[in-house]
Amino acid sequence: MLNIILFGPPGSGKGTQAAKLIEKYGLLHISTGDLLRQEIKDETPLGLEAKNFMNKGLLVPDDVVIGMISARLDAETEAKGVIFDGFPRTIAQAEALDRLLEFKKAPIVLMLALHVNDEALTERLLKRGATSDRADDQNEGIIRRRIEVYKNETSPVANYYDKQSKLVNIHGEGTIDETFALLVKELEEVA
Ligand code: B4P
């Protein structure tokens, strides 16, 4: 199984590139952001809890997200591989994912980490906020907090996979197609 993590700060292109990669490689896309937004839309208890954190630019608690991923993976038996988008975002989530995949004997093959400077991230997210209903993209203060949370809580996850020799850094400041080409080049070596 080709299990891959697409990693990077908010606005670095994870969701955008995941959509293109699943089309090319026929992989399953699991985005914790999308799953959480669906829970919010459905007004489930999980969604109501998550909304409080997401609208402030904070991470949703690990136990909530890990439980959600575990249920999603259990429901999946046929996939050729999974692109994890926006997960794991903490070391606790990374350890939990390793345990879940060890059980399935299908470990993470690669972490592709997108790098984009803070100003470009803020600009991209404000642009999306102007045309979408995502509350977390509509306020510059909240966007800056998400970037800070990424630096403090999420970026150590890259070191976790680097120690397993699975981290590949990708320049993410080019166009969507340029970044896609860089990702494909890395994937061709393991696919
Ligand atoms: P996510 O849904 O993961 O959202 P995101 O990090 O903001 O990035 P996304 O993938 O949507 O956007 P992209 O960069 O593709 O998380 C939202 C919130 O959910 C988190 O803040 C947190 O509260 C919660 N959450 C999710 N997962 C969690 C977890 N595991 N643990 C705890 N909490 C969790 O695109 C952004 C914009 O940039 C788009 O408009 C796109 O068109 C544009 N863009 C992309 N690439 C571009 C390029 N190369 N050039 C120009 N524009 C580009």
Tens-digit pLDDT string for the chain (191 aa): 899 999 999 999 999 999 999 999 999 999 999 999 999 999 999 999 999 999 999 999 999 999 999 999 988 877 889 999 999 999 999 999 999 999 888 999 999 999 999 999 999 999 999 999 898 999 999 999 999 999 999 999 999 999 999 999 999 999 999 999 999 999 999 87
Q: Determine the distance separating the centroid of ligand 1 and the alpha carbon of 137, expressed in angstroms.
A: 9
Q: Give the pLDDT score at 74.
A: 86
User: From the CB of 6, is ligand 1 less than 6 Å away?
Assistant: no
Domain count, the chain: 1
Residue where the block lists tokens 């997108």:
114
> What is the number of the ligand 1 atom nearest to the C-alpha of 9?
6
Task: Determine how many CB atoms are found less than 10 A away from the CB of residue 33.
Answer: 18
Residue 190 lies in a domain: no
Residue 75 lies in a domain: yes
CATH code for the domain of 148: 3.40.50.300
Tokens of 81: 């591989």
List the residue whose alpha carbon is closest to atom 1 of ligand 1.
Answer: 33
Q: Determine the distance separating the centroid of ligand 1 and the alpha carbon of 167, expressed in angstroms.
A: 20
Q: Determine the distance separating the centroid of ligand 1 and the alpha carbon of 170, expressed in angstroms.
A: 16
List the residue whose alpha carbon is closest to atom 23 of ligand 1.
Answer: 54
Q: Give the pLDDT score at 17.
A: 98
Cα of first residue to Cα of last residue in the chain, in angstroms, is: 9
> What is the number of the ligand 1 atom nearest to the C-alpha of 176?
49
Q: Determine the distance separating the centroid of ligand 1 and the alpha carbon of 146, expressed in angstroms.
A: 10
* CA dihedral sign of residues 85, 88, 94, 99: negative
Residue 131 lies in a domain: yes
For the residues of 20-71, what is the DSSP string, one character each?
HHHHHH-PEEEEHHHHHHHHHHTT-HHHHHHHHHHTTTPPPPHHHHHHHHHH
User: From the CB of 124, is ligand 1 less than 6 Å away?
Assistant: yes
Q: Give the pLDDT score at 120.
A: 98
User: From the CB of 32, is ligand 1 less than 6 Å away?
Assistant: yes
Q: Which domain holds residue 140?
A: 3-185
Q: Which positions are catalytic?
A: 14, 89, 128, 134, 146
Q: Give the pLDDT score at 122.
A: 98
Q: Give the pLDDT score at 28.
A: 94
Residue 191 lies in a domain: no
